[in-house]
Amino acid sequence: MAERLNYYILFATYTQGMALKDHLRSAGIPCRISPAPRSIQGELGCGMSLLLEEEHIEAAKQCIRENHAEYYDIQALPCQINAKRGRFC
């Protein structure tokens, strides 16, 4: 079975991120606020990202275009979430 991908939209500032979150929510596109995984954050100062399931990413890109929303990058990663991992901070 193909590995499920999660998409992270990265931002230069959290205000850009919150603005796009509002656009996505208004358009009914599910997204969640997530700390950006360190492996894709690079030298970006902002740690906030928007996490989307792969079936919603094309609609999100359309929403970005329509609203001229600012963002830094979009990166795909295999799903990182595992509720039973038993690893804490």
Q: Whose Cβ is closer to other proteins: residue 13's or residue 67's?
A: 13
Q: Lay out the sheet containing 32-35: strands in order across.
A: 32-35, 48-53, 5-10, 73-78
Residues in contact with other proteins, shown as a per-residue x/- string from 30 to 69 under the rule CB under 8 A: --xxxxxxx--x-xxxxxxx-x------------------
Out of 5, 14, 59, 64, point to the residue binding other proteins (CB under 8 A): 14
Q: Whose Cβ is closer to other proteins: residue 68's or residue 87's?
A: 87
Rounded to 5 degrees, what are φ and ψ at 75? -130, 140
Cβ partners under 8 Å of residue 85, min gap 6: none
Indicate whether 76 belongs to the interface with other proteins (CB under 8 A): no
- Residues contributing to the site for other proteins (CB under 8 A): 12-14, 17-18, 21, 25, 32-38, 41, 43-49, 51, 80-89
